[in-house]
């Protein structure tokens, strides 16, 4: 494998990326999508990554996936940062769009906590595909900027497929922000040297999006969600084009601030 990477790196990495992309799709074609399918896909991707590194006389420590304390602590730290990121982003969007928030009196705290476990397999799948072996080898060949451009684009395409956004140009445009999500996660990986960090940030962000805040139309017959801590009620009027543009800029600004903070934080740590 190492010889192929040296002689035909573009072809080799492209074929491996296709293989990694196929791993979660094949089980979903044979079985109904579920957390179990995502977990199986994550285990297969982890196995493939281990085999690829083993053929190069290396191991998963190249991705920082070991049980050393200086690596593992990035997981809970990342979860906290991910929750903070989404909370800051969502709170800013609430103020801009005039949304209202209230505590969900029907919340089931066990179900809310369980949400993180249910989301973890899908997060692992995406991190192993987009910030794992193929990304690291692309960095070796194309540099950080080149690798980020390639995998940010692929990450956007992935979400277009996942949300069935093809033809829905508003959704397609909005999901371009996931490219900045890749930039955030890849910065966390490269600065920490461990995939635990982007896994944590990704999981914290997704958990906050699913289990901290739940949207409500505010109608009389609206059933309150029991798997979210807060209920968000949107204003009745549809947002204008200008409001949507400002919302989009707010999202990009939040990504850029947190990307900068992670990079700055690591530099200070290294200096110490």
22, pLDDT greater than 50: yes
84-92 long-range contacts, CB within 8 A, separation 24+: 84/204, 85/184, 85/201, 85/204, 85/205, 85/254, 85/258, 86/204, 86/205, 86/208, 86/209, 86/212, 87/208, 87/212, 88/254, 89/250, 89/251, 89/254, 90/208, 90/209, 90/213, 92/250, 92/254
Mean pLDDT for 122-137 is 96
pTM: 0.91
Domains in the chain: boundaries: 67-271
Tokens of 47: 């196995």
Which 3-state string (H, E, C) describes the chain? CHHHHHHCHHHHHHHHHHHHHHHHHHHHHHCCCCHHHHHHHHHHHHHHHHHHHHHCCCCHHHHCCCCCHHHHCHHHHHHHHHHHHHHHHHHHHHHHHCCEEEECCCCCHHHHHHHHHHHHHHHHHHHHHHCCHHHHHHHHHHHHHHHHHHHHHHHHHHHHHHCCCCCCHHHHHHCCHHHHHHHHHHHHHHHHCCCHHHHHHHHHHHHHHHHHEEEECCCCCCCCCCCCCEEEECCCCCCCHHHHHHHHHHHHHHHHHHHHHHHHHHHHHHHC
pLDDT band at 251 (very low <50, low <70, confident <90, very high): very high
Higher pLDDT, 235 or 226: 226
pLDDT tens digits, residue range 170-199? 889 889 999 999 999 999 999 999 999 999
How much is the pLDDT for 271? 39
Q: What is the mean pLDDT of the chain?
A: 88
pLDDT band at 149 (very low <50, low <70, confident <90, very high): very high
pLDDT tens digits, residue range 79-109? 999 999 999 999 999 998 888 888 998 899 9
223, pLDDT greater than 80: no
Mean pLDDT for 217-243 is 74
């Amino acid at each position: 494998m190492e010889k192929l990477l040296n002689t035909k790196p573009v072809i080799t990495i492209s074929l491996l990326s296709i293989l990694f992309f196929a791993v979660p799709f094949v089980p979903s074609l044979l079985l109904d999508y579920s957390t179990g399918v995502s977990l199986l896909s994550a285990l297969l991707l982890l196995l493939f990554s281990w085999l690829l590194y083993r053929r190069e006389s290396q191991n998963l420590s190249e991705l920082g996936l070991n049980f050393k304390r200086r690596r593992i602590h990035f997981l809970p730290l990342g979860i906290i940062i991910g929750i903070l990121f989404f909370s800051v982003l969502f709170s800013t969007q609430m103020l801009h769009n005039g949304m209202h928030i209230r505590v969900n009196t029907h919340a089931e705290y066990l179900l809310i906590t369980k949400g993180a476990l249910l989301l973890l397999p899908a997060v692992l799948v995406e991190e192993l595909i987009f910030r794992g072996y193929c990304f690291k080898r692309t960095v070796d060949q194309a540099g950080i900027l080149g690798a980020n451009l390639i995998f940010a684009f692929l990450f956007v395409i992935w979400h277009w497929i996942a949300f069935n956004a093809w033809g829905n140009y508003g959704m397609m445009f909005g999901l371009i922000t996931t490219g900045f999500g890749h930039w955030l996660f890849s910065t966390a990986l490269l600065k920490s040297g461990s995939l635990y960090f982007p896994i944590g940030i990704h999981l914290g962000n997704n958990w906050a999006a699913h289990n901290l805040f739940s949207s409500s139309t505010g109608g009389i017959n609206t059933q309150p969600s029991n798997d979210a801590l807060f209920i968000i009620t949107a204003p009745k009027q549809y947002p204008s084009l200008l409001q949507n543009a400002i919302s989009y800029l707010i999202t990009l600004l939040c990504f850029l601030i947190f990307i900068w903070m992670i990079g700055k934080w690591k530099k200070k740590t290294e200096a110490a």
